[in-house]
């Protein structure tokens, strides 16, 4: 718990240790979930605190528990699914293409994905706009749903699984 709280405090630069502890506990101290939460709070700093994110997580999590499609998910997978949903809701408000891109990435084998494959898919299925591609990719990266270099894209296998369970 201490490491999870320290991570949240460092990443979000919010001194509210008590609220960070409550969030860390709610997320089961799962590194991937903590990363998603910190990225979301950082992208939405003016409207989101540890407390607000914890409340949203609880509310979204209750919705997931009632979804028959997700009964086969482990508690950890449900936690990541909920943090993914919260992030994707925010992303789709700004860039719907990010959801299409995330779905495509989740359909691939878990391995480093060459950027050239992603770029070609985008051009073929979405359109040739490099700016739209960069925006869609950027949102996924800003919310820590993917990691990229100039030549490679990585999506955590658990993120791939929860996206696959939702679409």
What confidence tens digit (pLDDT) does each residue in 83-118 have? 888 988 899 898 999 999 999 999 988 889 999 999
Instruction: Collapse the DSSP code of 114 into the 3-class scheme (helix H, G, I; strand E, B; otherwise coil) and give the result.
Output: strand
Give whole-number Cα distances, 74 to 42, 70, 144, 158, 160, in Å: 27, 9, 21, 11, 14
pLDDT 10s digits, 52-73: 999 999 988 766 655 545 567 7
pLDDT 10s digits, 71-88: 677 888 888 888 888 988
| Residue keyed to tokens 């789709």 | 92
What's the predicted TM-score (pTM) here? 0.79
Q: Give the angle 7-11-15 at the CA atoms, nearest 5°.
A: 85
């Amino acid at each position: 718990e201490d490491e999870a709280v320290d991570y949240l405090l460092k990443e979000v630069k919010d001194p509210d240790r008590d609220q960070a502890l409550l969030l860390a506990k709610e997320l089961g101290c799962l590194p991937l979930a903590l990363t998603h939460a910190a990225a979301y709070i950082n992208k939405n700093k003016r409207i989101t605190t540890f407390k607000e994110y914890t409340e949203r997580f609880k509310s979204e999590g209750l919705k997931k528990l009632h979804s028959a499609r997700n009964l086969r998910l482990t508690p950890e997978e449900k936690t990541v699914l909920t943090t993914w949903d919260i992030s994707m809701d925010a992303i789709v408000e700004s860039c719907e293409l990010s959801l299409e891109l995330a779905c495509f990435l989740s359909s691939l084998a878990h391995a480093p994905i060459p950027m050239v494959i992603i770029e070609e898919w985008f051009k073929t299925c979405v359109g040739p706009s490099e700016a739209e591609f960069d925006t869609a990719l950027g949102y996924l990266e800003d919310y820590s749903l993917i990691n990229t270099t100039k030549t490679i894209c990585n999506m955590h296998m658990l993120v791939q699984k929860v996206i696959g369970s939702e679409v």
